[in-house]
Homo-oligomer: A and B are copies of this chain.
Amino acid sequence: MARVGSERVRRRPTRAGVVLDPEMIIDTALRLIEAPGGNALTVRRLGVELGADPSAIYRYFRDLDALLLAIADRLIGDSLAGFEAGPDWLVSLRELGERVHRSMLKHPRLVQLRSTRFTAGPNELRADDIGIGLLLSAGFAGSDAVRHFRDFIDTALALATMDAAELTPSQQQTEDRALAAAYASLPAEEYPHLAAVRGDLPQVTASAFPGVLDKLIDALSRAAPGAGPRPADGDAERGPAPAIGS
């Protein structure tokens, strides 16, 4: 007995009588992150909430970042729930990207706290497996599939981080609004082109993700073997032509 999975464990109850394990630490941490009033997750508070010395957490996670990574991986797993790859690889790939991006944005503070973008957890691996499967089904060679999917998923994660900064409730928020307003009065001598599009500048505070996603999907659809008309490399089309235009 005293096993978790197939591993022997030797858990001692804390002073408060709680028996710790990684899952309950993640649960509690998620609860703290959700808590109102910004940045509620700290190692010390987590210790209090768990009924343990804060340093006990370091027996389970190398540091705070490792814990955050574990949480993020769980979120990715949640976002994958119910995902089914459809007949059109472009549509499925887009949905995968949207799900991953959205799952990160559900907890902006988590994303912002985290310094490593790549969780390396089982759920992200699963997302990778699905995505690469989609590209393989589109006819990409293995090495191209890996490369293209890495481009795709890294962009989704990196932009999620950037968007999270925008969503995090802080003084940053109001500053950004002020900034967008200040755009309207840029000195035309120094920034002639910005001044020329002055009226369109407020939209820069919106997320770049949708637009980037469109561009990536567009580029991938054309890069796919046997894709639509492209004069540059005029091979005879080979391989099954995927549905065009999603």
Query: Which positions in A face B, CB cutoff 8 Å?
Result: 112, 115-117, 120, 125-126, 128-130, 132-133, 136, 142-143, 145-148, 150-151, 154-155, 157-159, 161-162, 165, 172, 179, 186, 190-194, 196-197, 199-201, 203-204, 206, 208, 211-212, 214-216, 218-220, 222-223, 228-229, 231-232, 244-245
Number of copies: 2
Smallest distance from the beta carbon of A135 to chain B beta carbons, Å? Answer: 9
A-B contact pairs, 22 of them (CB 8 A): A112-B115, A120-B179, A125-B191, A126-B190, A129-B193, A132-B194, A143-B200, A145-B197, A146-B197, A146-B200, A147-B203, A150-B204, A154-B159, A155-B158, A155-B208, A157-B162, A158-B162, A161-B161, A215-B220, A216-B216, A218-B219, A218-B222
Distance, CA A209 to CA B209, complexed state (A): 15
Interface of chain A, main secondary structure: helix
Distance, CA A159 to CA B165, complexed state (A): 15
Q: Which residue of B lies closest to A219 (CB)?
A: B215
A132, B197: Cβ atoms closer than 8 Å: yes
Give which listed residue, B112, B133, B159, B203, contacts A155 with CB less than 8 A.
B159
